[in-house]
């Protein structure tokens, strides 16, 4: 609501956003020190965003993959899986970067939808709005290729984030390992659905 009503800058100056980040972001070391008090942050961090562009980017990312996956899984199962993907994203991010700043944003959970889409629709063309923006040639590019390239980029960014040769004071603001964890969980969670698809019907 802060972002929707254009109050972002005022909320920052009042300290509201910083307090919300402290209350709802996920931090691995804080979780390990008090698991019972911090387990809700596995979910709450997915509803927190740093600014308007962060939200808009994640909404676009969500619309690329989630509707098609939800049609396959059904509404309730998708909602449950979305939370599972968010937990997986936070867990892997915390494992590789336990001392990083608090994790916020839905992109880890949405990466789960990308992983599910990758498994369910490997040969599907990109959505129409992407072909309108970047050209109709994109229709010839299957999902496994362009999503696969994105996933490899996340792996590269993740390993770069934990390399010891980073310059002093250099920080990486993107939670690459959250994307990797969410994607992997999303792909694996579609295994039962694929098995059901391929199981021959008996009469």
| pTM (whole model) above 0.95 | no
- Whether 30 is in a domain gets the answer yes
Q: What does the pLDDT read at residue 30?
A: 78
Q: How confident is the model at residue 4 (pLDDT cuts 50, 70, 90)?
A: very low
CA distances to 112, 113, 141, 190 from 147, rounded to whole Å, are 12, 11, 10, 16
Q: What does the pLDDT read at residue 188?
A: 96
Q: What does the pLDDT read at residue 203?
A: 52
Of these ranges, 22-26, 87-91, 131-135, the one predicted with the greatest mean pLDDT is 87-91
Q: What does the pLDDT read at residue 7?
A: 39
CATH code for the domain in which residue 140 is found: 1.20.1540.10
Q: What is the mean pLDDT of the chain?
A: 81
Q: Which ranges of 39-142 would DSSP assign to H, the alpha helix?
A: 41-44, 52-73, 75-96, 107-120, 128-134
- Whether 43 is in a domain gets the answer yes
Cα(65)–Cα(153) distance, integer angstroms: 18
Spatial contact of 165 and 184, defined as CB atoms under 8 Å apart: no
- Whether 68 is in a domain gets the answer yes
Cα(141)–Cα(104) distance, integer angstroms: 32
Q: How confident is the model at residue 202 (pLDDT cuts 50, 70, 90)?
A: low
* Residue 47 phi, psi dihedral angles, 5° rounding: -100, 0
- Whether 203 is in a domain gets the answer no
Mean pLDDT of 96-109: 84
- Whether 177 is in a domain gets the answer yes
- Whether 39 is in a domain gets the answer yes
Lowest-confidence pick of 37-51, 69-83, 86-100, 142-156: 37-51
Cα(78)–Cα(116) distance, integer angstroms: 10
pLDDT digits (tens, 9 = 90+) for 143-188: 899 899 999 999 999 998 887 665 545 556 788 999 999 999 999 9
- Whether 1 is in a domain gets the answer no
- Whether 3 is in a domain gets the answer no
- The total of structural domains in the chain comes to 1
Parent domain of 55? 8-198
Checking if the pLDDT of 42 tops 90, the result is no
- Burial of residue 157 (CB within 10 Å: 0-12, 13-18, 19+) is middle
Count of C-beta atoms within a 10 Å radius of residue 38: 17
End-to-end CA distance of the chain: 53
């Amino acid at each position: 609501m802060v972002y929707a009503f254009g109050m972002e800058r005022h909320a920052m100056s009042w300290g509201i956003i910083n307090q919300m980040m402290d209350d709802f972001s996920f931090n691995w070391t804080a979780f390990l020190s008090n698991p019972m008090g911090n387990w809700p942050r596995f979910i709450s961090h997915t509803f927190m965003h740093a600014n308007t562009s962060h939200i808009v980017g994640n909404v676009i990312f969500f619309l690329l993959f989630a509707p098609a996956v939800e049609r396959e899984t059904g509404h309730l199962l998708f909602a449950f899986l979305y939370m599972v993907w968010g937990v997986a994203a936070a867990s892997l991010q915390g494992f590789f970067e336990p001392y990083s700043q608090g994790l916020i944003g839905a992109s880890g959970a949405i990466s789960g939808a990308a992983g599910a889409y990758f498994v369910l629709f490997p040969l599907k063309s990109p959505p129409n709005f992407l072909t309108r923006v970047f050209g109709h040639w994109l229709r010839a590019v299957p999902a496994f290729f362009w999503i696969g390239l994105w996933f490899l980029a996340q792996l590269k960014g993740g390993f770069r984030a934990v390399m010891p040769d980073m310059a002093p004071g250099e920080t990486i603001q993107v939670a690459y390992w959250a994307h990797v964890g969410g994607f992997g969980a999303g792909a694996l969670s579609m295994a039962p659905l694929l098995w059901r698809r391929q199981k021959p019907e008996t009469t």
